[in-house]
Amino acid sequence: MNQEMNHQAKRRGLIMVYTGNGKGKTTAALGLALRAIGHGFKVYMVQFMKGEGNLYGEYLAASKYLPGFEIVRAGRDVFVDRGNPSEEDRVLAKKGLELARRAITCGRYELVILDEVNVAVEWGLLRVEDVLDLLKDKPPEVDVVLTGRYAKPEIMEAADMVSEVLEVKHHYRAGIPAREGIEF
């Protein structure tokens, strides 16, 4: 068995969670994606609650410069109404979860990122049980990252690693709006 096959045979996929009220959860997952791509891994990211019309920098970079990184968006181009999400929001989130399931189980990707999935669960677009079922069904060699504030205790319990990003200070509070290249 060559060294690469031996490495893959010994590889244990992790479940990692980035949560908390601070900025940087998606950015941390993207840093992990970049590291994985550098080692030749294929990465798939589902961005829940983010629509096709929003040109997030990570989507632009992946499509232009990172052939090993596929990003799909599973949301509308407007903010979800937390107290009253639309049926379309729910349908798109469920579609995103199904895309994630296919990516996790198809054997093509070593790392799958479920961006803002914790928010989608908290806001009632997805059931925590469905996310947990997805994690239980993942092949042992696939790494999965879940981002977003409001991570449920059951998801954190299922994880191998949980990092909480805390806001200490944020430029929004000083009236500085979201900036291209920093927030999106």
Predicted confidence at residue 1, as pLDDT, reads: 45
One digit per residue, the tens of pLDDT, for the chain of length 184 reads: 455 555 555 679 999 999 999 999 999 999 999 999 999 999 999 999 988 777 788 989 999 999 999 999 999 888 888 988 999 999 999 999 999 999 999 999 999 999 999 999 999 999 999 999 999 999 999 999 999 999 999 999 999 999 999 999 998 888 999 888 888 8
- Residue 180 dihedral angles phi and psi, to the nearest 5°: -60, 135
* Coil vs helix vs strand at 6: helix
Helix axes 87-105, 128-137, angle to 10 degrees: 10
pLDDT digits (tens, 9 = 90+) for 42-93: 999 999 998 877 778 898 999 999 999 999 999 988 888 898 899 999 999 9
12-174 sits in which CATH class?
Answer: alpha beta
Q: Exposure of 18 by Cβ count < 10 A (0-12 exposed, 13-18 middle, 19+ buried)?
A: buried
Domain ranges of the chain: 12-174
